[in-house]
Amino acid sequence: MKKALIILLASACTVTAQQSYPPDADTPGTTAIHKTSPLFLGWATGVVVERGYVQISDASIMHMGSNKATYGVPEDAIGIPDTGAVSLGDAGTAIITFASPIGNGPGFDFAVFENGTNTFLELAFVEVSSDGVNYFRFPSHSETQTDTPIGGFGALNARNLNNLAGKYKADYGTPFNLDDLPDNAMLNKNSITNVKLIDVVGSLEPQYAGYDSFGNRINDPFPTPFYSGGFDLSGVGILNAGSLGVADTALTMLAIYPNPAVDSFSIRRSSATEVHIKMYDSTGREVLSTDIS
């Protein structure tokens, strides 16, 4: 009897260890946030992309005239997500910046958008920085089986994924909570200036695979030898605002008139010091960047 009881308990633990996380965007209990949610305070204003190969295991493979992903442009990830996206390719990266920092407030602090479906999910690791130099990765977990590759068009279950961008379908952001990161003297959680995304290579071959924080290989669509392969970034939204920090440039009082303006406006400053002005529209897109001496 004692031996049988141990076996039953082990079996129960095996079942509960699977599908531990919130479901897809259309299922009750999801943490997905739609792009039109009033929770969003701002959007990405800058993106720098380093494209990866269309198939990292064979750099000779070409699509649309290149062996690297070419779909979209970095600007497709600026502002509120729309129909555009920029593809990173295998192990490609994107560094996203903002007009003002992300802060560590109650609940989720920012969300990342991809253009997948409820089951076709292309994933990315997420890292943040408060100085643009030192990056810290969110602890991630994949409970997807690793016995068999899911292939280039295989299905994933959002319930098996945690702290990986791309968990939710197009128009729904995957949210991240800065409290999930261990405290570090080199990271100011109340002034996150950069978010970095790294495409997860879904290969199960050890030399190419992406690994979660538990050392598990992450089974993700692979190969995807197309110009749109890899994580497709469509936006990053701010849910909690941060502070600029005391080391930033001194503030200068500005008066803008007329307000509202139609075709033109004037700016009057409170001092004769040189100032740098950046202006953004309601979607977070930069529309003006200039120095006034």
Find the range with the poorest average confidence among 6-20, 118-132, 183-197, 269-283.
6-20
For residue 222, what are the contacts with CB-CB under 8 A and spacing of at least 6? 90, 149, 150, 151, 152, 201, 202, 203
Predicted confidence band at 104 (pLDDT cuts at 50, 70, 90)? Answer: very high
Q: What is the signed CA dihedral for 106, 111, 117, 120, rounded to 10 degrees?
A: -100
- Spatial separation of the C-alpha atoms in residues 276 and 95, rounded to whole Å: 23
Q: Is the pLDDT of residue 14 over 60?
A: no
- Spatial separation of the C-alpha atoms in residues 121 and 139, rounded to whole Å: 19
- Spatial separation of the C-alpha atoms in residues 93 and 49, rounded to whole Å: 6
CATH 3.40.50.1980 is held by the domain 22-244: no
> 247-274, pLDDT tens digit by residue?
444 445 565 656 556 667 777 665 566 6
- Beta pairing, strands 192-199 & 286-292: unpaired
Q: The whole model's pTM is what? A: 0.80
Q: Report whether 54 contacts 200 (CB < 8 A).
A: no
> 56-82, pLDDT tens digit by residue?
999 999 999 999 999 999 999 999 999
CA 263 vs. chain centroid, Å, equals: 36
What is the Cα gyration radius of the chain?
Answer: 22
Sign for the pseudo-dihedral over CA of 195, 201, 206, 207: negative
Find the range with the poorest average confidence among 8-17, 184-193, 198-207, 241-250.
8-17
Q: What pLDDT is attached to residue 254?
A: 60
Average pLDDT score over residue span 230-250: 81
Q: How does the average pLDDT of the chain come out, rounded?
A: 88
- Spatial separation of the C-alpha atoms in residues 168 and 131, rounded to whole Å: 29
Q: What pLDDT is attached to residue 266?
A: 72
Domain borders along the chain are: 22-244, 254-292
SS3 state of residue 76? helix
Q: Which residue has the higher pLDDT, 15 or 158?
A: 158
> 44-56, pLDDT tens digit by residue?
999 999 999 999 9
